[in-house]
Homo-oligomer: A and B are copies of this chain.
């Protein structure tokens, strides 16, 4: 048989892929596995979206416009106004999830061999899109000591070479939950302007900001309007991960034209899901208020609970629904596997995502894991109890 491509060999597997068989085995042995490893909320999708699907009268499930329903894009333009983001519907291309927006955006703006600077730890799938586009990811390390704040801007600047074409951030961030301040964003903007780079921002957790914090969008950075590409998605906002509806937004007409060619080649984003996403624009504010209150409680339980366990530390995040905790262990890849394979407490155990897969720098993240606090509070309490007990008996614990 013929050989596979180099890309196929370089594509990273998911950071939790190695753990999946152990989770399955644990379940088959009757253990309850508390899944803190994936950002799939248990929150209900808004009724208004589900109702729209139940009432769908489409007789022919047709292609939509390659940029998505015009009515939906106009609705999105209104939605963004609530966040003081001023874009018209022609500056929005609806995509199949934020993933496709990222893929089209990177391919339109960067050549194979180009470099993109990303603060690490970062959403592990960025690696996959980078490999697919033939890009080199240049990490700048954020640290748990600083609560995963933006690393000093000089660290970014040091890494800029003739091949650097873009910087990418996620805000609020997956996996750290860190919310960039306006000041941090401004520093990034100056750097982007100085070196004429693209600035990609994944802002899919916009609705998940806590303690009175408000998100500051890249779309509101003055004087770099042509450099900014915003990646968005309905997945988290409306707990509609399975819809696969995202958007690429930019004021750069050349980028829009290029992305449209990629969009036309794949014909259209999914139609049913657009019906649901358009209806979801009518989700009442009370839904978000409730969800936010729920996540704040969950976050407080999880983060405070983690910090109470001896040897564990976890910065309090102000956004998204993840936190990164440091454990007093040899290697979280081993610890997470051991939790599934060799541990149980009252019939339960915990699955977390080891953080090394979220770093591009080899060797980092070995004591850290990402925890998605997307489950009901009682499960979070159980998970904390499991972790506390586990650390008493895990053979690789480091005092």
Contact = CB atoms under 8 A, between A and B. Distances in A.
Interface string A48-74: 011001111011111110000000000
Q: Which of A110, A267, A268 has the most CB of B within 10 A?
A: A267
A300 interface: no
Interface stretch (A38-46, A285-293, A308-316): A38-46
A119 to B, nearest CB: 20
A241 interface: yes
Nearest to A66: B14
Interface residues of A, number: 79
A220 B107 CA distance: 36
Given A40-B63, A270-B243, A265 B128 contact: yes
A254 B3 CA distance: 9
Interface in A218-232: 226-227
A143 interface: no
A105 B388 CA distance: 45
A7 interface: yes
A259 to B, nearest CB: 8
Nearest to A16: B264
A240 B268 CA distance: 12
Contact of A134 (B97, B134, B242): B134
B4 A255 contact: yes
Q: Which of A45, A99, A132, A266 has the most CB of B within 10 A?
A: A266
Interface in A245-277: 252, 254-255, 258, 261-262, 264-273, 276
Interface in A119-170: 125, 128-129, 132, 134, 165-166
A28 to B, nearest CB: 16
A170 to B, nearest CB: 15
Given A240-B61, A258-B11, A270-B96, A5 B196 contact: no
B96 A11 contact: no
A264 B45 contact: no
B62 A242 contact: yes
Contact of A62 (B40, B49, B60, B254): B40
B242 A61 contact: yes
A191 to B, nearest CB: 13
A8 B260 CA distance: 10
A322 interface: no
A134 B134 CA distance: 10
A112 interface: yes
A239 interface: yes
A100 interface: yes
The 10 closest A-B pairs by CB, nearest first: A242-B271, A128-B265, A8-B258, A11-B261, A1-B226, A99-B266, A272-B272, A270-B270, A244-B270, A8-B108
12 contacts: A1-B227, A4-B258, A5-B109, A5-B111, A8-B108, A11-B258, A44-B60, A50-B59, A53-B54, A241-B268, A272-B272, A272-B276
Interface of A: 1-2, 4-9, 11-14, 17, 40-45, 49-50, 53-56, 58-64, 96-97, 99-100, 103, 107-112, 114, 125, 128-129, 132, 134, 165-166, 196-198, 226-227, 239-244, 252, 254-255, 258, 261-262, 264-273, 276
Given A53-B53, A244-B268, 17 more contacts: A2-B165, A2-B198, A5-B109, A7-B108, A11-B262, A44-B59, A50-B58, A53-B56, A61-B240, A61-B242, A62-B241, A62-B242, A97-B266, A103-B266, A128-B264, A242-B270, A243-B270
